[in-house]
Protein backbone atom coordinates (compact mmCIF):
# COMPACT_ATOMS: atom_id res chain seq x y z
CA UNK A 1 0.00 0.00 0.00
CA UNK A 2 2.78 2.44 0.86
CA UNK A 3 4.51 1.68 -2.44
CA UNK A 4 1.32 2.55 -4.37
CA UNK A 5 0.97 5.78 -2.42
CA UNK A 6 4.59 6.65 -3.16
CA UNK A 7 4.07 5.92 -6.87
CA UNK A 8 0.96 8.13 -6.95
CA UNK A 9 2.82 10.99 -5.25
CA UNK A 10 5.75 10.65 -7.64
CA UNK A 11 3.41 10.66 -10.65
CA UNK A 12 1.56 13.74 -9.40
CA UNK A 13 4.87 15.48 -8.68
CA UNK A 14 6.20 14.70 -12.14
CA UNK A 15 2.99 16.02 -13.70
CA UNK A 16 3.20 19.29 -11.74
CA UNK A 17 6.85 19.78 -12.69
CA UNK A 18 5.96 19.14 -16.33
CA UNK A 19 3.10 21.66 -16.23
CA UNK A 20 5.34 24.33 -14.66
CA UNK A 21 7.94 23.71 -17.34
CA UNK A 22 5.32 24.10 -20.11
CA UNK A 23 4.14 27.39 -18.59
CA UNK A 24 7.74 28.63 -18.39
CA UNK A 25 8.37 27.62 -22.02
CA UNK A 26 5.22 29.44 -23.16
CA UNK A 27 6.18 32.52 -21.18
CA UNK A 28 9.64 32.51 -22.76
CA UNK A 29 8.20 32.17 -26.27
CA UNK A 30 5.77 35.03 -25.65
CA UNK A 31 8.56 37.23 -24.29
CA UNK A 32 10.81 36.39 -27.24
CA UNK A 33 8.10 37.25 -29.79
CA UNK A 34 7.33 40.49 -27.95
CA UNK A 35 11.01 41.48 -27.99
CA UNK A 36 11.33 40.77 -31.73
CA UNK A 37 8.13 42.73 -32.48
CA UNK A 38 9.33 45.69 -30.40
CA UNK A 39 12.69 45.62 -32.17
CA UNK A 40 10.91 45.60 -35.53
CA UNK A 41 8.86 48.64 -34.57
CA UNK A 42 11.90 50.68 -33.53
CA UNK A 43 13.79 49.57 -36.62
CA UNK A 44 10.83 50.32 -38.89
CA UNK A 45 10.86 53.99 -37.90
CA UNK A 46 14.43 54.41 -39.12
CA UNK A 47 13.90 52.30 -42.27
CA UNK A 48 10.66 54.12 -43.09
CA UNK A 49 12.33 57.52 -42.74
CA UNK A 50 15.17 56.39 -45.00
CA UNK A 51 12.74 55.07 -47.62
CA UNK A 52 10.82 58.37 -47.71
CA UNK A 53 14.03 60.37 -48.06
CA UNK A 54 15.44 58.02 -50.73
CA UNK A 55 12.53 56.93 -52.96
CA UNK A 56 14.84 55.71 -55.75
CA UNK A 57 16.47 53.01 -53.61
CA UNK A 58 15.61 49.38 -54.34
CA UNK A 59 17.78 47.38 -51.96
CA UNK A 60 18.43 46.35 -48.41
CA UNK A 61 19.93 49.27 -46.51
CA UNK A 62 22.77 48.74 -44.01
CA UNK A 63 22.18 49.85 -40.43
CA UNK A 64 25.03 52.36 -40.74
CA UNK A 65 22.89 54.31 -43.24
CA UNK A 66 19.91 54.46 -40.90
CA UNK A 67 19.25 57.02 -38.16
CA UNK A 68 18.90 54.44 -35.37
CA UNK A 69 19.01 55.39 -31.68
CA UNK A 70 22.46 54.91 -30.13
CA UNK A 71 21.08 52.44 -27.58
CA UNK A 72 19.32 50.28 -30.18
CA UNK A 73 20.70 46.82 -30.95
CA UNK A 74 18.84 45.15 -33.81
CA UNK A 75 17.60 41.66 -33.07
CA UNK A 76 19.39 39.16 -35.30
CA UNK A 77 17.03 38.22 -38.10
CA UNK A 78 15.24 41.56 -38.34
CA UNK A 79 15.99 42.87 -41.83
CA UNK A 80 14.84 45.49 -44.30
CA UNK A 81 14.20 46.03 -47.96
CA UNK A 82 13.25 49.29 -49.65
CA UNK A 83 11.56 49.69 -53.00
CA UNK A 84 9.99 52.79 -54.62
CA UNK A 85 9.87 54.72 -51.35
CA UNK A 86 8.20 51.88 -49.43
CA UNK A 87 9.99 50.17 -46.55
CA UNK A 88 9.61 46.50 -45.71
CA UNK A 89 10.86 45.35 -42.32
CA UNK A 90 10.78 41.59 -42.00
CA UNK A 91 11.73 38.57 -39.93
CA UNK A 92 11.87 34.93 -40.94
CA UNK A 93 11.56 31.79 -38.88
CA UNK A 94 8.86 32.67 -36.35
CA UNK A 95 5.41 32.53 -37.98
CA UNK A 96 3.66 33.27 -34.64
CA UNK A 97 5.36 36.67 -34.63
CA UNK A 98 2.78 37.97 -37.11
CA UNK A 99 0.01 37.88 -34.48
CA UNK A 100 2.09 39.76 -31.90
CA UNK A 101 3.20 42.39 -34.41
CA UNK A 102 -0.33 42.83 -35.78
CA UNK A 103 -1.66 43.34 -32.26
CA UNK A 104 1.02 45.94 -31.47
CA UNK A 105 0.46 47.92 -34.68
CA UNK A 106 -3.25 47.30 -35.32
CA UNK A 107 -2.34 47.73 -38.99
CA UNK A 108 -3.38 46.02 -42.21
CA UNK A 109 0.25 46.54 -43.25
CA UNK A 110 1.43 43.63 -41.10
CA UNK A 111 1.32 40.10 -42.39
CA UNK A 112 3.15 37.23 -43.98
CA UNK A 113 4.70 37.33 -47.44
CA UNK A 114 2.94 34.57 -49.34
CA UNK A 115 4.36 34.39 -52.85
CA UNK A 116 4.73 38.16 -53.15
CA UNK A 117 1.43 39.14 -51.52
CA UNK A 118 0.95 40.36 -47.96
CA UNK A 119 -1.51 38.18 -46.06
CA UNK A 120 -2.75 39.81 -42.85
CA UNK A 121 -3.77 37.71 -39.83
CA UNK A 122 -6.78 40.00 -39.33
CA UNK A 123 -7.85 40.90 -42.88
CA UNK A 124 -6.57 38.01 -44.98
CA UNK A 125 -5.13 38.58 -48.45
CA UNK A 126 -4.33 42.25 -49.01
CA UNK A 127 -3.63 44.11 -52.26
CA UNK A 128 -0.10 44.88 -50.99
CA UNK A 129 2.58 43.44 -53.26
CA UNK A 130 5.84 42.40 -51.59
CA UNK A 131 9.03 42.75 -53.69
CA UNK A 132 11.34 39.83 -54.38
CA UNK A 133 13.92 41.17 -51.92
CA UNK A 134 11.71 39.98 -49.05
CA UNK A 135 11.76 36.20 -48.53
CA UNK A 136 8.53 34.27 -48.99
CA UNK A 137 7.13 33.21 -45.61
CA UNK A 138 8.64 36.19 -43.77
CA UNK A 139 6.63 38.23 -41.29
CA UNK A 140 6.54 41.72 -42.84
CA UNK A 141 5.69 45.24 -41.69
CA UNK A 142 5.13 47.52 -44.69
CA UNK A 143 5.65 51.27 -44.28
pLDDT tens for each residue of 65-95 = 999 999 999 999 999 999 999 999 999 989 9
pTM for the whole structure:
0.81
How many Cβ atoms from other residues are within 10 Å of residue 35's Cβ? 12
Query: How far is residue 41 CA from its own chain's centroid?
Result: 10
Name the more confident of 11 and 77: 77
Rounded CA-CA distance 87/53 in Å is 11
Exposure class string for 22-34: b at 16+ Cβ within 10 A, else e? eeeeeeeeeeebe
pLDDT band at 28 (very low <50, low <70, confident <90, very high): very low
Where do the H-state alpha helices sit in the chain?
Answer: 2-53, 97-105
Give the mean model confidence (pLDDT) for residues 8-13. Answer: 46
Amino acid sequence: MQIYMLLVLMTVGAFLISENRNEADNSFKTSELDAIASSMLIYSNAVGNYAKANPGVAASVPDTSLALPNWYVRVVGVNNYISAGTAYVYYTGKPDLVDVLAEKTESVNVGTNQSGTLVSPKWGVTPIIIPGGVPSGAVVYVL
